[in-house]
Structure 1
């Protein structure tokens, strides 16, 4: 449990030496949560813990009849993944980020990676990169577009701020997305992680899921358009 009892971490101790910690919470395009859930499933991570809080929505997630905690902690060798199914309200981002980082402070964490989305409404699916120190940017400059200025909102921004304050190396990878579920953007972010951390991960199935989702959304849009009532023409008086 953290020092702040409002954020409760129930987990086995991290077993890896100098682990890297990846975090993904629902946000724009659900980029972070889709990416990390796919990562832990494909690479067969082991769930070692959960995070709960009075601040979280009063919901229990369910899959195939089995209850699952909305924020979970997974581990495989020297990689830890914190995956969330629920969005974090802006008013509690500080408390949640601070609680997670308080728990991580007990372990020799090498670096923290926050994965999120950034809405541009452009089709390229670029991945934008930021780091807590200027010297760290060289490592990611060949794989991401370095953001020159701006702000990162939500839990991703709060986590990176906590890394900066606590002098823990932190990276932010922001997948270019639209504001709908975007597995293609998640795949782009995973491609960056695969290159930087030499992950044994096949991303092709996620791209196939993206095509299926895009096709379904396109069909839905067509159905909505075809069912829209045609406006009646009004017989307006003519002047002149």
Structure 2
């Protein structure tokens, strides 16, 4: 069941996701867009030359899609992207938010923990500029206590740090598996709290099978990406986080 509070209708949200460790953000948005019945309203072009296209019914579709339902927008990149492309993606997403009077941007990502960790996934928020700090306080989300950030995630921070966008990076602890079901469910629940909609996650396992089939290429490309990066996440938490 999906229920949107009257309060949430007065505020617009943009969720931006691209493959990360655990495929947390990408799969969370895939599930949310299906449950909310969001419409594909176009693509976000970040360069004149696209790295890939999908052909369906004789039409070419770029890899970075834009979805919308009421006051909720989502930008989803269907391929792993490099440092420079990530920076451009976030900058273009900020511009998109401004053009559409969107007040908050949420970027869900995975935060890798030790593979032997037995606890439940935890979601943390990271506010990277002055406007974002108040937004983090509003949603009562714990802040990331400590981590080393590099690669694509560092590009996200760089793009947001000197902007006036109200944006929160939503990190959810996960293991190096593609996908990490528990972390994705936690991310979905946290996202739904932030955008103030109720999402039924009981059908997640059923939907995940379809998402897995549709995204086998993403899964393999993301796995290779992290294997080529010595198997490490682009965000390494300090010991004890998770």
2:25 to 24, 27, 32: 32
**Pairwise CA RMSD:** 3.0
Query: How many angstroms does 1:91 deviate by?
Result: 3.5
Q: Which has the larger radius of gyration?
A: 1
Query: How many angstroms does 1:172 deviate by?
Result: 1.3
Distance 1:134 1:52 in 2: 29
Query: How many angstroms does 1:19 deviate by?
Result: 1.7
Distance 2:91 2:104 in 1: 16
Aligned residues: 196
* Pairing of 1:137-176 with structure 2 (within 5 A): 137-141=136-140, 144-176=141-173
Q: Which runs of 5+ in 1 are unaligned?
A: 1-15, 214-240
For residues 55-85 of structure 1, what are the alpha-carbon distances to aligned partners after superposition, in whole Å with 9 as ceiling and x for unaligned?
A: 8763334689986432100011111011121
For residues 86-119 of structure 1, what are the alpha-carbon distances to aligned partners after superposition, in whole Å with 9 as ceiling and x for unaligned?
A: 1111233222322332333323221100001011
Query: How many angstroms does 1:169 deviate by?
Result: 1.1
TM-score (norm 2): 0.68
For residues 155-183 of structure 1, what are the alpha-carbon distances to aligned partners after superposition, in whole Å with 9 as ceiling and x for unaligned?
A: 45434443442212111111111122113
Using CA pairs under 8 Å that are at least 6 residues apart, name the structure with larger relative contact order, 1 or 2. Answer: 2
More moved, 96-105 vs 31-40: 96-105
Q: Which runs of 5+ in 2 are unaligned?
A: 1-8, 213-242
Q: Which residue is 2:124 aligned to?
A: 128
* Pairing of 1:52-201 with structure 2 (within 5 A): 52-54=45-47, 58-61=51-54, 68-120=61-113, 121=115, 122-123=117-118, 124-132=120-128, 133-141=132-140, 144-180=141-177, 181-201=179-199
TM-score (norm 1): 0.69
